[in-house]
């Protein structure tokens, strides 16, 4: 479904009460050893997927990156450790499909002064773990990241871990929700204007 | 320190030293961030007895708390023994603070309760000089807590003066006139703190500094009335205005641009997650009430700027925290509402979720560009020989700037009159004697 009033690139009907409820329930308490997947083939497949995602972002291949997410996706960087409740608390970022496409549109405009010139980034992804959680077409992933960002003649690091809610659609694993947990998410950050 | 203040702050321009001179910055931390009322926290952050948050009053680390007797206090976060900070957490609940270094123990009134092995002291450790220092004056206006070290400053209410009206209106559109602080978008920039205060009523920068945001907001529809779009065409001819309110405060009022009807506020809200869902759901469920419910999630188009460090805008409480002459933290606290009168019912959850998403928009897509521009002002000001920064828009044009009967000054929305006026208050404070004091529990 990608036409007319219900196209999530155009209008936001899917971010409703039950969407929030499911999201919060899903990110509450999931990264347990008992859910861990040990199969090296599956783990490697997800590791490669996350490495590809990092490369797309480093290369500013935003269309390729957006295609890695489900149509009804969410990109969420909480403003406090542990995540909090995005229904009653401000997040560093909380984007649905349309707002993500807004974000990309803004970065591509010539007038995003915070990204003119654009940051150069090199992302390191590690500690990838895969968890079985819920239905068999769903997985949760956990990975650590360091984003090395060169901007304004300085290299700085944005550091944290990500939780991913993955869904298999027609044989392809897509990102339904990406939760980015910056370790300094509740402190002042200089120029937080790249896609994490 | 002797400066030629009249030379540095002129009618239509200021000297670069105001933004670059570390000695002026240090004097500001005493004379401004000590000598006048400074916003320090919101009561909703410390709702219960013994709740505290740690903040800074200028550069002084302080603990803002509601003590065991429900009294608001701003304690210096500095052990009276050898000076270490007592509390290293951002927030919490504590009846007492025990120093991590040698274990002196202080009640949250600031009184020293006890020290390890007291028999090793010939001094009377009950002497009040061992109780924690604290701000001698702490007052709250409708939940906004301010502190000053200046016993001669006017009372908070007098100092706010005509600003109480926009503050009241900003609060009273919410149920029970109440808002609750709920996390924040937190920024740091490498620039002087006044660059943010200068910008807080600046209607002139909008179409340039926020061009990426304006283009983004109109990428899916040409509707001319969204977000900040009314700055696009001849903003000075519109009903919105800027008003200087005295004591360094100023007010940008864009509400006259709205349609005066329920839903008028929501009509200018730009896109955000969950928008169309909430609109459809509210119209189905609540019929005619839908518009006024949606307005509760919309951003109030005002900038209520309270010198030196507070700005209420949209639904945000923005606070400027100086770090050094060329570094500042700018924190955009979000606010949610409560169903104080019980008339919102099951719409509350959706309203607050929308309200979070509307508030995240501007910091993410607008503020970052302003901050880049502030930083680049700081860089540009390194050109020592090019000394002046102009704030002369609207200056010297007959009938453009009007002084009202109550002494406030009104001008078109893009005028810099508020900068010219607030910097006079800055100059008054910097020039004057600064009778600062602390108090200790007896
Ligand atoms: S510095 Fe606090 S007890 Fe010594
Ligand atoms: Fe701005």
| Per-residue confidence (pLDDT) for residue B352, from 0 to 100 | 98
Q: How many domains does chain A have?
A: 1
Q: Is the dihedral of CA B341, B344, B350, B355 positive or negative?
A: negative
| Domain-located, residue B351 | yes
In the reported structure, the alpha carbon of residue B194 is separated from the centroid of ligand 2 by a whole-number distance in angstroms of 14
Domain that holds residue B370: 162-430
Structure tokens, A16:
């409703």
d(CA B318, CA B200) in angstroms, rounded, equals 10
pLDDT at res. B225: 65
H or E stretch covering B209 = helix B206-209
pLDDT at res. B234: 83
Q: Indicate the number of domains in chain B.
A: 1
Residue labelled with tokens 């005028």:
B415
Tally of CA atoms within 13 A in the half-sphere of A95 that contains its CB: 25
Separation of CA B210 and ligand 2 centre (Å)? 7
Atom 1 in ligand 1: which residue has the minimum CA distance? B82
Average pLDDT, chain A: 96
Tens digit of pLDDT for each residue in A13-65? 999 999 999 999 999 989 999 999 999 999 999 999 999 999 999 999 999 99
Q: Looking at chain A, how many residues does it have? A: 196
Task: For residue B35, give the nearest of B429, B306, B438 by alpha carbon.
Answer: B429
Q: At what angle do helices B348-362 and B275-286 cross, to 10 degrees?
A: 150
User: Given pLDDT bands bounded at 50, 70 and 90, which one contains residue B227?
Assistant: low
Closest residue by Cα to residue B387 from B27, B6, B26, B9? B9
Q: Examine residue A62 and state whether it is found in any structural domain, yes or no.
A: yes
- Residue A2 belongs to some domain of the structure: no
* Residue of higher predicted confidence among B230 and A51: A51
B224 pLDDT tier (thresholds 50, 70, 90): low
Say what the pLDDT of residue B95 is: 98
CA–CA dist B364, A35 (Å, integer): 35
Q: Give the ligand with the smallest distance to the CA of B313.
A: 2
Find the residue in B nearest to A184 (Cα). Answer: B186
pLDDT in the model for residue A1: 40
Question: pLDDT at position B166, please?
Answer: 98
CB B104 less than 6 A from any atom of ligand 1? yes
Kindly determine whether residue B273 and residue A88, on different chains, have CB atoms separated by under 8 Å.
no
- Which tokens is B114 given? 């006890």
Ligand lying nearest the CA atom of residue B99: 1
Of residues A12, A89, A96, the one with CA closest to residue B44 = A89
Whether a cis peptide bond, with omega within 30° of 0, leads into A117 is: yes
Cβ(A136)–Cβ(A152) below 8 Å:
no
B436 domain-assigned = no
Angle between helices B22-31 and B417-431 (to 10 degrees): 80
Contact B62, B149 (CB under 8 A): no
What is the pLDDT, as a whole number, of residue A2?
Answer: 40
pLDDT tens digit string along B37-54? 999 999 999 999 999 999
For residue B79 and ligand 1, the question of a CB distance below 6 A is answered with: yes
The reply to whether ligand 1 has any atom less than 6 angstroms from the CB of B85 is no
Tokens of A49: 């997927």
Within a domain: residue B126?
Answer: no
Is there a domain that residue A141 lies in? Answer: yes
Q: Is the pLDDT of residue B67 over 50?
A: yes
What ipTM does the predicted assembly reach?
Answer: 0.96
Q: Position of tokens 């209008």? A: A11
pLDDT one-digit tens code per residue, A8-25: 999 999 999 999 999 999
| Range in A40-54, A118-132, B37-51, B225-239 the model is least confident about | B225-239
The residue range of the domain holding A136 is 19-182
In angstroms, the CA A143 to CA A128 distance is: 4
**Residue range B358-365: average pLDDT?**
98
Residue pairs spanning A and B at CB distance below 8 A = 140
pLDDT band at residue B289 under the 50/70/90 scheme: very high
pLDDT at A93: 98
Q: Comparing C-alpha atoms, which of A90, A94, A84 is closest to residue B333?
A: A90
CB contact under 8 A, B353 and A193: no
Query: Is A130 among the domain residues?
Result: yes
CA-to-CA distance for A179 and A165, rounded, in angstroms? 8
The angle formed by the CA atoms of residues B348, B352 and B357, to the nearest 5 degrees, is 150
Asked whether B374 lines ligand 1 (CB < 6 A), one says no
- B219–A105 C-beta distance less than 8 A: yes
**Cβ B419 under 6 angstroms from ligand 1:** no
Q: Is the CB of B285 under 6 A from ligand 1?
A: no
Strands B137-141 and B13-15: unpaired
Return the exposure string of B236-262: e unless at least 16 CB atoms fall within 10 Å of the residue's CB, then b: bebebbbbbbbbbbbbbbbbebbeeee
* Contact by Cβ (8 Å): B334, B181: yes
Q: How far is A123 from chain B (nearest CA, A)?
A: 21
**For position B230, what pLDDT does the model report?**
76
In a domain, A1, yes or no: no
List all residues 6 or more positions away from A75 whose beta carbon is below 8 Å from its beta carbon: A69, A93, A94, A95, A100, A177, A178, A180
The ligand placed nearest to the CA atom of residue B101 is 1
| Distance from C-alpha of B276 to C-alpha of A188, rounded to nearest angstrom | 32
Query: A-chain residues within 8 Å CB-CB of B273?
Result: 12, 15, 74, 94-96, 98-99
Q: Is residue B253 part of a domain?
A: yes
> The tokens of B403 are what?
């002084």
pLDDT mean over B284-308: 97
* Contact flag B187-A189 (C-beta cutoff 8 Å): yes
Contact B276 A80 (CB under 8 A): no
CA B99, CA B83: separation in Å to the nearest integer? 10
Q: Which residue shows structure tokens 């997040």?
A: A91
Distance in angstroms (rounded) separating the CA atoms of residues B35 and B379: 29
Which ligand number lies closest to the CA of residue B105?
A: 1
pLDDT in tens, A137-154: 999 999 999 999 999 999
**What tokens were used for B74?**
């701003």
Q: Is the pTM of this model over 0.90?
A: yes
The secondary structure of A49-90, three-state, reads HHHHHHHHHHCCCHHHHHCCEEEEEEEEEECCCCCCCCCCCC
Q: What is the DSSP letter of B155?
A: P
| Average pLDDT of chain B to the nearest whole number | 96
**What pLDDT is attached to residue B228?**
73
- The answer to whether position A4 is within a domain reads no
Query: Rounded to whole angstroms, how far apart are CA atoms B30 and B434?
Result: 8
Residue closest to B360 by CA, chosen among A15, A38, A92, A149: A92
> CATH number for the domain including A27?
3.10.450.50
Q: Is the CB of B86 under 6 A from ligand 1?
A: no
CB-based contact (8 Å) between A113 and chain B?
yes
Cβ contact A111–B357 (<8 Å): no
* Chain B residues 178-197 with a CB less than 8 Å from chain A: 182-190
Token duo for residue B214: 């304006």
**Quick one: pLDDT band at residue B434, thresholds 50, 70, 90?**
confident
Q: Cβ contacts of residue B200 below 8 Å, gap of 6+?
A: B250, B252, B303, B305, B311, B313, B318
CATH number for position B262: 3.90.380.10
Residue B310 within a domain: yes
Q: Would A148 be classed as within a structural domain?
A: yes
B360: nearest CB among A14, A91, A112 = A91
H or E element: which one contains A177?
strand A172-182
Q: How far is the CA of B228 from the centre of ligand 2 (A)?
A: 10
Give the nearest ligand 1 atom to B82 CA.
1
Residue A4 confidence (pLDDT) above 90: no
Of A10, A12, A93, the CB nearest to B364: A93
Interface contact flag, B349 A17, Cβ < 8 Å: yes
Contact B312, B13 (CB under 8 A): no
- Report, as an integer, the average pLDDT of B250-273: 94
- What is the chain B residue with the closest CA to A105? B216
Taking an 8 Å cut-off on Cβ atoms, the answer to whether B356 and A79 are in contact is no
Closest to B90 (Cα-Cα) out of A96, A80, A62, A176: A80
């Amino acid at each position: 479904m990608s036409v007319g009033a219900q196209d999530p690139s155009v209008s936001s009907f899917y971010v409703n009460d039950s969407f929030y409820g499911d999201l919060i329930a899903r990110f509450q308490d999931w990264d347990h050893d008992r859910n861990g997947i040990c199969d090296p083939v599956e783990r490697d497949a997800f590791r490669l997927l996350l490495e590809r995602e990092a490369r797309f972002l480093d290369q500013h291949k935003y269309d390729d990156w957006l295609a890695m997410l489900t149509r009804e996706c969410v990109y969420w960087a909480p403003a406090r450790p542990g995540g909090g409740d995005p229904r009653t608390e401000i997040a560093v970022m909380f984007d649905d499909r349309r707002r993500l496409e807004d974000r990309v549109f803004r970065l591509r405009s010539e007038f995003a002064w915070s990204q003119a010139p654009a940051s150069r980034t090199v992302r390191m992804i590690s500690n990838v773990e895969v968890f079985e959680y819920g239905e068999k077409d769903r997985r949760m992933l956990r990975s650590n990241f360091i984003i090395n960002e060169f901007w304004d003649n300085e290299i700085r690091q944005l550091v944290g871990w990500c939780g991913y809610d993955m869904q298999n659609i027609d044989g392809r694993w897509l990102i339904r929700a990406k939760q980015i947990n910056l370790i300094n998410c509740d402190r002042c950050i200089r120029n937080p204007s790249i896609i994490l | 320190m002797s400066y030629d203040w009249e030379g540095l702050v002129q009618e239509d321009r200021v000297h670069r030293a105001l933004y670059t001179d570390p000695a002026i910055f240090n004097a500001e931390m005493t004379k401004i961030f000590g000598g006048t009322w400074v916003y320090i926290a919101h009561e909703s952050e410390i709702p219960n007895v013994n709740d505290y948050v740690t903040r800074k009053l200028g550069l002084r680390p302080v603990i803002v708390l509601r003590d065991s007797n429900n009294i608001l206090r701003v304690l210096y976060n500095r052990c009276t023994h050898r000076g270490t900070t007592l509390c290293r957490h951002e927030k919490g609940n504590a009846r007492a603070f025990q120093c991590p270094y040698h274990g002196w123990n202080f009640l949250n009134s600031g009184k020293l309760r006890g020290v390890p092995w007291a028999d090793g002291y010939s001094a009377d450790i009950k002497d009040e000089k061992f109780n924690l220092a604290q701000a001698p004056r702490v007052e709250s206006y409708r939940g906004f807590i301010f502190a000053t070290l200046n016993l001669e400053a006017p009372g908070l209410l007098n100092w706010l003066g005509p600003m109480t009206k926009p503050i009241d209106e900003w609060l009273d559109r919410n149920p029970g006139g109440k808002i609750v602080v709920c996390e924040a978008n937190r920024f740091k920039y490498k620039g002087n703190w006044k660059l943010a205060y200068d910008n807080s009523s600046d209607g002139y920068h909008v179409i340039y500094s926020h061009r990426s945001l304006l283009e983004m907001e109109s990428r899916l529809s040409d509707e001319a009335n969204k977000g900040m779009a009314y700055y696009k065409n001849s903003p000075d001819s519109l009903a919105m205005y800027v008003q200087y309110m005295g004591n360094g405060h100023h007010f940008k009022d864009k509400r006259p641009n709205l349609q005066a009807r329920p839903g008028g506020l929501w009509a200018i809200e730009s896109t955000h997650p969950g928008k169309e869902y909430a609109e459809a759901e509210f119209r189905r469920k609540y019929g005619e009430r839908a518009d006024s419910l949606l307005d509760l999630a919309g951003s109030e188009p005002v900038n209520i700027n309270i010198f030196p460090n507070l700005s209420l805008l949209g639904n945000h409480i923005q606070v400027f925290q100086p770090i050094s002459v060329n570094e500042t933290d700018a924190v955009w606290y979000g606010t949610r509402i409560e169903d104080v009168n019980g008339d919102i019912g099951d719409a509350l959850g959706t309203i607050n979720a929308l309200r979070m998403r509307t508030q995240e928009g501007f910091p993410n897509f607008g503020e970052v560009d302003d901050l880049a521009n502030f930083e680049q002002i700081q860089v540009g000001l390194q050109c020592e020989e090019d000394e002046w920064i102009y704030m002369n828009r609207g200056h010297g044009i007959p009938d453009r700037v009007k002084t009202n009967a109550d002494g406030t000054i009104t001008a078109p929305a893009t005028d810099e009159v508020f900068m010219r006026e607030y910097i006079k208050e800055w100059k008054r404070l910097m020039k004057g004697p600064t009778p600062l004091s602390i108090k200790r529990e007896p």
